[in-house]
A and B are shown apart, each in its own frame.
Chain A
Amino acid sequence: MNGDHDDEHDHGEFSELSEMDARVRALETLLVAKGLVDPAALDGIVEYYETEVGPHLGALVVAKAWSDPAFAAWLRDDASAAVASVGLAGRQGEHLVALENTPDEHHLVVCTLCSCYPWPVLGLPPVWYKSPAYRAKAVRDPRGVLADFGVELPAGTCIRVWDSTAEVRYLVVPMRPAGTDDLREDELAALVTRDSMIGTGLARPSAGG
Chain B
Amino acid sequence: MDGVHDLGGMDNFGPVRPAADEPLFHAPWEGRVLALTLAAGALRRWNLDQMRFQREQLPPALYLSSSYYEIWTRSLETALVAAGLVTPDELATGRPEGSPGEAAAVPWSALGPVLRRGGPTDREPAAPARFGPGDAVRTRDVHPRGHTRLPRYARGVAGVVERVHGPHVYPDRHAATFGPPFDQRPEWLYTVCFAATDLWDDAEPGGRVSIDAWEPYLEPGS
Chain A residues with CB under 8 Å of chain B are 1-4, 7, 17, 20-21, 23-31, 33-38, 40-46, 48-50, 54, 89-95, 97, 110, 112-115, 120, 123-124, 126-128, 130-140, 142-145, 148-149, 158-168, 195, 200
Contact = CB atoms under 8 A, between A and B. Distances in A.
Interface string B97-139: 0001101111110011011111111100000000000000000
Contact of B16 (A49, A115, A149): A149
Contacts of A112: 6-9, 151, 153
Given A36-B105, A131-B16, A132-B64, A24 B29 contact: yes
A149 B55 CA distance: 29
B59 interface: no
Contacts of A7: 27
Interface of B: 5-11, 13-19, 22-29, 31-36, 38-40, 42-43, 52, 55, 64, 67-70, 73, 76-77, 80, 85-86, 90-91, 94-96, 100-101, 103-108, 111-112, 114-122, 149-151, 153-154, 163, 165, 168-169, 171, 189, 191, 196, 199-200, 203-204, 206-214
27 contacts: A3-B25, A4-B28, A20-B70, A21-B28, A21-B29, A27-B77, A27-B94, A33-B96, A34-B85, A44-B112, A46-B35, A91-B119, A93-B118, A112-B7, A113-B8, A114-B52, A140-B153, A148-B18, A149-B16, A159-B208, A160-B208, A161-B209, A162-B210, A163-B210, A166-B168, A166-B189, A168-B212
A113 B49 CA distance: 12
Contacts of A140: 8-9, 11, 153, 199-200, 203
A196 B64 CA distance: 27
Contacts of B34: 45-46, 49, 124
Given A44-B111, A44-B112, A139-B8, A165 B212 contact: yes
Contacts of A34: 85-86, 90, 96, 100-101
A49 B24 contact: yes
A25 B152 CA distance: 37
B68 to A, nearest CB: 4
A141 B199 CA distance: 11
Contact of A114 (B55, B112, B168): B55
B149 A113 contact: yes
3 closest Cβ pairs, A-B complex: A112-B8, A2-B23, A166-B212
A133 B55 CA distance: 18
Contacts of A130: 68
Nearest to B148: A113
